[in-house]
Amino acid sequence: MKLSHLLTPELIKVGLENSTKEKIIQELIDIVVAQGLVSDTDQAFMDVMSRELQQSTGLEAGIAVPHGKSTSVDQLVGALGISEEGIDFASLDGKPSHLFFLLIAPPNMSGPHVRALANIAKFSQNSRYRNMLTEASSSEEAYRIIKQAETEDI
């Protein structure tokens, strides 16, 4: 699933307000809740945190992908949070994360979830677009950057 099909400007937050892993995950879940995409906020948080406790979803190059399967959604939902300063997310490379892609899928869904993860991985390989996204000044600009990256088929 293309990121531009999963995200909208309303599902992107530039300037995350929190600085701990748990609070970042809650802030991202609050974004999808505000859009009416999650039926049970607490369940979604517990499911994503349960996955996070198994192994950190802080990857490399400033990317983190907190995700999980949850009965609180009936389709794949996502959000993107951006922190220009960076936040410790126990990443594989030990560096702060700047881009936080939240994915929550129903328990019986794997195809779109796996494709979305693959597209995030592909996006993360392009330092130009990573930097542009990290420096975006608005959710609309961030969304345009994602669409541009997909158009160029990075």
Q: Which amino acid is at 78?
A: G
User: Phi, psi (5° rounding) for residue 24?
Assistant: -65, -45
Q: Is the pTM of this model over 0.85?
A: yes
**C-alpha span between 116 and 113 (Å, rounded):** 5
**C-alpha span between 81 and 86 (Å, rounded):** 11
Domains and CATH numbers, the chain: 3-151 (3.40.930.10)
Sign for the pseudo-dihedral over CA of 97, 53, 67, 9: negative
Q: What is the pLDDT of residues 24-70, one digit of tens each?
A: 999 999 999 999 999 999 999 999 999 999 998 999 999 999 999 99
User: Phi, psi (5° rounding) for residue 81?
Assistant: -115, 140
Q: What is the pLDDT of residue 152?
A: 81
Q: What is the pLDDT of residues 87-111, one digit of tens each?
A: 999 998 999 999 999 999 999 987 8
Among all chains, which residue has been given the structure tokens 């974004």? 31
Among all chains, which residue has been given the structure tokens 């330092």? 127
